[in-house]
Amino acid sequence: MAIIEERLDTGGIAHTQLVNGIVKATKSSRPEHGDRHVGMVYIVDLLTRMFLPSGYPNSVSPDYLRYQILNALQAFCNSLAGMLSSRAILQGFGVGDPTASATKALLLTVLQDVFGRLTTILSAHLIGSSLYPEAKTYRLLADVLNDTAVILDTLSPFFNTFSIPGLRVASLCLSAIFKSLCSICAGGSKAAIAVHFATPISGKGDVGDLNAKDASKETVLALFGMLLGTLIVPYVSSPLSTHILLFILVSLHLGINYVGVRLLILRSLNRQRLAIAWQMFDGSVKGHAPEPSEVAPLERIFNFSDFVYEINSTRIRWHIKVATLNVLSV
């Protein structure tokens, strides 16, 4: 009989018994935790296996956990803000108004859907190739677009008080456009970020498992947000309190997302990161190649132009296009 000992990614040890080349039994043991309570260890281990990628932390990049913590906070804020906008949309459709027509609400929904689908097709054509290299930019832009749509939806019932015909319909259609743009930006940039997280410095990750676990976390956070929202929203009924709470949630949502994107240390090169790395290499005394962690803090999140600026300056250094490099100044 032979016993094969295998050390698992989670820190445990698996023992497999072989008798005449046939597997007879396999037993796994968890790592020792000293005097910690066995029940608590089991719960922590269960939650880790449910919500963190298999083999964590060896199967993800070093910046995974801190980004996920901030991503959880921003998703919670977005869930509460979404409930306020959903209530406003229902009010705009005429919920509680006996003179409202279900047919008009249906036609308005169809009109929004048309604008949203057309925007999806057009935006995928225009910016699809930029989503992966400019993941930071489009990840934060997606949140800006989402919050703009939330604000428009929340304000939509008050547009009926203006004498401008069709103002509320126009605002809801514009909201649908922003939501579609958000979907394209968020989908492409999150895929790029997921690939980054699933490529640790040493070892190998599983992007499929990582995406599945992220979806589980987002589902739980959205559920908690809705449950908390059912307790808070009924007491936020006046326009003033609604707008104050919405302003707080949107501010927190954007602020947390900005910090989270700033903390990302992408190891792939795009136009801006390549220019920053070259300037740091060219300016170093011994020709030191900068680490990704040195380049990341110097990136400009919103930089849609072809111009590359000098480090910590507004002076344009280069004008870069695809497959060309035009030096404006040296």
Q: Over the chain (330 residues), what is each successive 10-residue block's mean pLDDT?
A: 62 66 58 55 77 84 90 88 85 66 82 93 90 92 94 84 80 92 92 91 84 88 85 86 90 94 90 84 76 88 71 67 48
**Gyration radius of the chain's alpha carbons:** 25
CB hemisphere CA count around 1 (13 angstroms): 7
The position carrying tokens 């609400």 is 105
pLDDT at 27: 58
pLDDT at 322: 55
pLDDT at 46: 78
* Three-state secondary structure string covering the chain: CEEEEEECCCCCEEEEEEECCEEEEEEEECCCCCCCCHHHHHHHHHHHHHHCCCCCCCCCCCCHHHHHHHHHHHHHHHHHHHHHHHHHHHHHHCCCCCCCCHHHHHHHHHHHHHHHHHHHHHHHHHHHHHCCCCHHHHHHHHHHHHHHHHHHHHHHHHHHHCCCCCHHHHHHHHHHHHHHHHHHHHHHHHHHHHHHHCCCCCCCCCHHHHHHHHHHHHHHHHHHHHHHHHHHHHHCCCHHHHHHHHHHHHHHHHHHHHHHHHCCCCCCCCHHHHHHHHHHHHHCCCCCCCCHHHHHHHCCCCCCCCEEECCCCCCEEEEEECCEEEECCC
pLDDT at 328: 46
pLDDT at 320: 65
Report which of 152, 221, 157, 145 is spatially closest to residue 185, judged by C-alpha positions: 145
pLDDT at 25: 53
Which two tokens mark 206? 């599983």
Question: Contacts from 270-274 at CB under 8 Å and sequence distance 24+?
Answer: 270/133, 270/134, 271/133, 271/306, 271/308, 271/320, 272/299, 272/300, 272/303, 272/308, 273/299
pLDDT at 278: 83
Q: Report the distance separating Cα 319 and Cα 140, nearest Å.
A: 24
Cα 275 to the chain's mean position, in Å? 26
pLDDT at 8: 58
The Cα-based distances of 6 to 15, 28, 32 in angstroms read: 6, 9, 16
pLDDT at 35: 47
Is residue 111 within 8 Å of residue 166, measured between CB atoms?
A: no
